[in-house]
Amino acid sequence: MLIKIDDIKSTPAVLALISLHVAEINRMVDSSDVLDVSSLQASNVTLYSAWEGHELMGIGALKELSPTHGEVKSMRTVATHFRKGVGRAIVEHLIKVAKERGYTRLSLETGKGVWFENARGFYTNMGFELCDPYGPLPPCPDSSFMTLKLEN
């Protein structure tokens, strides 16, 4: 599996996966901090895509909140690649990049409902712990906030 920085605009499969992700999140919860295509192109966001040959397997983004704090965003695996370790590989890559950038903490927001039980379990298994809302994010009844302390 190759994980690389994606420029979004030149990859139709990535654009389609982002669109699907945004639509599903917005359908499942009343409010969210999901990043759309234009938000994923911000200067403080780096989008990564995972590939097997020419086939897209998944995406994940790293957003810089401060020089020491990053946020995992837009984690999504292509349905045909569920349960193949794609999400784990992307999160491990994001953790590696976060450490290289000198971040001491990596956080994320995910849902609270039953649709998000697997996501919360996944992130817990990756070492993330529940935390209070961080950065500019206000408390949200639909959201769970998690963080991972990084050691370089």
Measure the CA–CA gap between 1 and 130, rounded to whole angstroms.
30
Which domains, ranges and CATH numbers included, belong to the chain?
2-149 (3.40.630.30)
Instruction: Return per-residue pLDDT of the chain as tens, 152 residues.
Output: 999 999 888 889 988 888 887 777 766 666 566 767 777 888 999 999 999 999 999 999 999 999 999 999 988 999 999 999 999 999 999 999 999 999 999 999 998 888 789 999 999 999 999 999 987 767 777 889 999 999 87
End-to-end CA distance of the chain: 25
φ and ψ of 24, to 5 deg: -70, -40
Token pair 């499969």 is found at: 13
